[in-house]
Amino acid sequence: EDVKLLRSQSERCREILKRLTSLSSEGEAHLSRLPLTSLVEEVTAPHRDFGISIKLRPGERIGPEPVGRRNPGVIYGLGNLVENAVDFARKSVT
């Protein structure tokens, strides 16, 4: 049973690493930086077709929109949070 658990967890880690590698190799140089709204849209887009409404409510903006480097680890981590929210939501995620 312990060996089975170790194998399943190592396979899970392998899949995560594969996903991170593909995220870091995607895109071109002009896409290496993106505004916060684009990051949020990129993270939520894959989870919109599961019958759960994803509602984004931006707060009041003071100053220019933040722009950051496209980081595969951050995209993966935020995507995981959104996926969990969608999995456990009844109707919508806000």
pTM exceeds cut of 0.75: no
At residue 62, the 3 state secondary structure works out as coil
Instruction: Going residue by residue through the chain, which has 94 residues, state the pLDDT in tens, using 9 for 90 and above.
Output: 888 888 888 888 888 777 766 655 555 555 578 888 888 888 898 888 888 889 888 778 788 888 888 888 888 899 999 999 998 888 888 8
Residue 85: predicted pLDDT: 92
User: 32-41 in b/e burial notation, b at 16+ Cβ within 10 A?
Assistant: eebeeeebbe
Residue 23 has a pLDDT of 59
